[in-house]
Structure 1
Amino acid sequence: MRQLRDTVWQRRGTSWVWDEEARNQICVANEVWSLRQFLRASKAPGSWPDDLPSNGGKTLVVAGLDGSLDLLTPTDAETWLGDAIKPAILSFQDEYEGDAALTFWLPGGHNRVRAHAATDEVRWLCHMPHGHQIDLGRIFWGKANEYPQEILLRDGGRPAGLFHLRIT
């Protein structure tokens, strides 16, 4: 998987971030939206704010995706991601015309997001007792596995998250 040391993920595209230092670079706690707020804004015309709450109006950080996935069976989670979350991401992208960043805060993501080194497939490890893996690449970017990039805050560091410039 390609690695990204640039800060473009803080201003554009969609990211899934699990590193607290990375999250702190773009927002403070009271700027984070709940998943419910995010989904509500995506469904009501004119509900997206003119100025996003974080990073000088360039970023929206959303928390709660991981907890919601944990409440669902793997099959229901896949359906929900495709039927509710992906359209909400697309709505965000359309509203801001690719000139804003959407970041999903996944505090335990370093243990749950699995990138296969040989194929660049990205999967979400479901909460026990399921233990299944959800193919995020298939759901969000149609298996165009060359596009997601690992976010690195420093050379030789562990990935802080994943970045995708545009979901289609």
Structure 2
Amino acid sequence: MKNKFRLLLLFAVISLSTSINAQKITDGQSVDLNGMSVTFNILNKESIEVGGKPFDRYKVSATVKNTSDKSYNIRLSSYPQVTTNIGIVELDCINATGSKLTSKKIQLKMKAQMINVTYTAYDRSGKLTNGVIPVIGSYYFDAGDAISDNAIFIVPQGEKPEVSVRSLK
């Protein structure tokens, strides 16, 4: 029983620490997160039925702009390298259902820098040929850059999306 209580307490502390870093954001509002300006906008609203129940479907947009003089870079040391930490900010719609293959979150990620790599290989006739293949060399988010993305949130009818934003950097 004591171990279950400790596990429950640990889970509560972890979930509280992640929610402390989040800030609420509403339609048309901009929030400053450590030198990054995050803007959230509702683009479109329509009423729909899912499984016989009424819902509101919102098309939303999120933008992050690097307003600081600091650039973020992730340089890949070898290819292929699995990189999972390229997100900059995450917007979470607390009351989104996620039904009908819609989103509950928008994660704005760094831009990929593509590099053309020349390689040598034999073709079908046995002749040595050169080819070019694009690969990702790094991810970046420079000072002054802006990154945008759209998503669709389905929420219970009569409710607006309740969105919180947090920095991933």
- Give TM class, smaller chain: under 0.3
The structure whose RCO (Cα within 8 Å, separation 6+) is larger is 1
- Structure with greater strand percent: 2
- TM-score between the two structures when normalised by the length of structure 2: 0.25
- TM-score between the two structures when normalised by the length of structure 1: 0.25
Larger Cα Rg: Structure 1 or Structure 2? 2
